[in-house]
A and B are shown apart, each in its own frame.
Chain A
């Protein structure tokens, strides 16, 4: 027995050493690997209200955060100037040779992070995927914007041609799809992380449910034509769905910057009481909040009911008390100053008496008066889980109660909310549109052929006259004519009220004084992240 004791001790020590090694290995690896958290001064932490749904250019949908991140990772043919004018990026020149043919010359010397230059084959392959799809992969949600594209072909080593079935004036402003290398296009959706397919100033390093990390692209070649090599090494986007958590995280220094995701009352507080620690930037934004109706619901098929709802709402009061005045009342889709703004003279001003009369005429009698328990009609408004939007919905419900309409506010998690909208599983809802550029946005939202998944006519609104005007405007080359047509289209929308426009918000950014160089844009873009420095 005795001579085995050394063996037992040896095995025991070996086991102990192995256990220690297993326990300590991750820590040694963490020390050896370059850590995102290594230097706070090189990391900017931004709070996001919702997780971007996809930054794969083939599958970027309508959620704002995906659209904000896409151009930071994948350069498109066309971007937009601060005033909203299309601006060539990967494209050097775009020319309509006739109303049905567009020739795009590709800029030389732009590289993917993997080292290869972007060539015309990549651009053709990317756009062919978006327009016509690929076998075994889901169709692109962006294909609706290119429904008039009949053919895409390479015409020379630096030029491609898009052939249209009908003229499409909005085509250039839709050429915002991030370019991918042709070998990336056979990959599954969102299976692009860490492969060097990016050509923008940042690389995607992590895309998880709780945070997304983008890292400086050291090989970014956009600087010569107006881009900028990022000054920060990493940008961490923390997904914080709860308003209070985002606010507390900013206060405690867990995040450095929040754009359009702080409640209005907190923005005022940051401005007035915390100006020493935080900087607040405000700017009138390209954003329009609205109450929309599902036309498959019988109640909303009567225009008198929709107008009565508009008349019963007191938007000025909501704007003042719930949104602290950070916005201006909206009467049409585009805010004043926008190229396609429509001055709605037919706007419904708050008038309870008229609202009640219209409801009576629509056959919705209030047998026991507005104070009685029996409502004229009942419907629900769905909103995503956002405290301010819930408060707005409750305020609207309170105002509609005064004319005998009972409104139930249903709060849903953001992705569930979007799913309900796209499935038509909704009666009325409150949401904003942000970052629209062209009048063609009206086609995307109101044309009867643009119901999900090929558009955002989620209320299934249909008006033949409006369709005709929107189709004409899309085909019209003259900007003046297009403006006139969109004015006529918006006049119909203001009469028909598929949406009740609520307000154009004042965009806001709150950031810690550690951060400098961030600029707020009307469309909420994050392109100034390249200029940000963190102390």
Chain B
């Protein structure tokens, strides 16, 4: 009963057997289909009378014709030879390649894409590892206990140094004689927050103070402003060469942190 033309072992290409399937348990007409009436005369009469619905025990009788399935591009028999399976995939893929297919170019492109993904991934991985290691660095509460030493020899006269201490900037200025004289010459009545220069320094040459504006906490700029000291760019507070507020919205002089001099090693210890 199977189709003779197909030599493939794939059974789905073969046509189904005629007749009822093996599992069918219903009454099989013993006579040949041509002789046996499809419906008995009594049922036929009932059908005509409208008493019986047209329900059957199976919906479709298996027939001799099963639709064959083809590959999308089936080579012609003349191209493959009569003895070969026409349904097998073609061995020669040339017909399916693009006309401008370039093996070297395709390979280079594939490696190029792989390399691109690789270096993007490598950069991302490097950042990941870096960030992970940074989180092992000293935390803020450890840094808060720290003291900072400043080498006095490293700051020449008339120069500022900004040191980070407890997460905030500290200004250290090695003042010149002129600047000390200027700071001492200011009348207390001119000051918003009266403090003498001697109150603010342990040694007149060294001015050590927090670099945080007393207005809203910005960081003032050194060697700027109308009084030759510091100037806060946020809201325009001017501090003089002793760090005292002279003009602008800030209410207080720049704060003086705890600090000491280590004369033996020539260092200022802040904290």
A and B assemble together: no
Residues of A with Cβ closer than 8 Å to B? none
Residues of B with Cβ closer than 8 Å to A? none
